[in-house]
Amino acid sequence: MENQTLQKLVQEDNELWSQLKAGDEKAFSILFKKYYGYLIQYGNSFLPFAEKVQDCVQDVFTDIWVYRHSLSDSVVVKAYLLSSVRKRIVRLQQRDRIFNKSTSMDSVTFLFDFSVEQQLISDELTAGKVKHLNKLLNDLSARQKEALYLRYHHGLSVDQIAGILNVNYQSASNLLHRALINIRKEWKGNLALIMILLANWI
């Protein structure tokens, strides 16, 4: 799917979606296989219990099939699935007494850390820069990281991210923009220092 453009992908998903709504089991299976991995990964970034996450994702698909007649026509399937999994995990944590500390939508925390794409880095200078940038990224708040993850990994629109995080468009937009601005400011400031350090090291 990596060599397909986003638009093509959305179109393909929409076709499968309407087939599923019409009761096509094959379309259901294709969608399941296509997104199961992504959803598990997303779910795992909230819950450290792999089995519970698997249950949640499977339940999301179960609900989709059981209530297929009342599903909306105009959805971005990927955003819909990610949102459903997140909601389910929030509900699970609310129900689960062990985790029952707060009850709002924000009660789940995105515990995910970005890593460094080592294979694509050939020189030490780039490696140092990327490492530093990666550290700054992982120091962001959980919500900012989640927004970045949804925006630049899953390619969701700001609108869809706002829907998933249960905030308005402006808040979601600010969340993303400020993350970038702050990091760039800090990064630029430290870049000179890094260069010196690296020069000494070499």
Partner 1 sequence: MKKRSQYREIEDFLEDESFRLWMRSKKDVDGWEEWTLEHPKRAKLVEEARLWLLAMKVPNDDLSQEEVDVALQNAWMKIEKRERESKMEIQLIQLWHTGWFRKIAAIFVIGLLSFYAYTKYFTAEQLYYDYSQIVKGLDEDGLLEQINNSNRPQIVTLSDGSSVLLQPKSKLSYPKVFTGNERKVYLSGEAFFEISKNPKKPFFVHANEIVTKVVGTSFRIKAYANQSDVEVLVRTGKVKVNSEKNVDKTSQKEIVLLPNQALRFMRKERTFDKITDITTEKSISNSVRSIEQLSFEFTDIPVSQIFKTIEQAYSVEVDFPVKKLENCHLTTSLSDQPLPEKLKIICKCIGNNTTYTMNGNQITISTKGCN
Write out the residues near partner 1 by the rule CB under 8 A. 2-3, 5-6, 29, 32-33, 36-37, 40-41, 54, 57-59, 61-62, 65-66, 112, 114-117, 120-121, 126, 129-131, 133-134, 137, 148-149, 151-153, 155, 176-177, 180, 184
Q: Which is nearer to partner 1, 100 or 138 (CB)?
A: 138
Q: How far is the CB of 5 from partner 1 (least distance, A)?
A: 6
DSSP letter for 89, please.
H
Pick 90 or 129: Cβ nearer partner 1: 129
C-beta of 41: minimal distance to partner 1 in Å?
6
For the CB of residue 134, give the shortest distance to partner 1 in the complex, in Å. Answer: 4
Closer to partner 1 by Cβ: residue 12 or 99: 12
Give whichever of 91 and 102 is closer to partner 1, judged by the CB atom: 91
Task: Look up tokens 């400031």; give the residue.
Answer: 189
17 close to 11: Cβ distance less than 8 angstroms: no
What whole-number distance in Å separates Cα of residue 192 and Cα of residue 201?
14
Report the residue number, 51 or 73, with the smaller CB distance to partner 1.
51
Nearest approach, Cβ of residue 31 and partner 1 (Å): 10
DSSP letters of 9-47?
HHHHHHHHHHHHHTT-HHHHHHHHHHHHHHHHHHHHTT-
Residue 54 or 109 with smaller CB distance to partner 1: 54
Q: CA 52 → CA 40, 59, 106, 136, 173, distances in Å?
A: 10, 10, 19, 31, 31
In b/e form, how buried is each residue of 1-10, taking b as 16+ CB within 10 angstroms?
A: eeeeeeeebb
For 63-96, b/e burial (b = at least 16 CB within 10 A) is ebeeeeeeeeeeebbbbbbbbbbbbbbbebbbee
Q: How far is the CB of 132 from partner 1 (least distance, A)?
A: 8
Smallest distance from the beta carbon of 28 to partner 1, in angstroms? Answer: 9
CA torsion 102-106-107-111 (nearest 10°) is -150
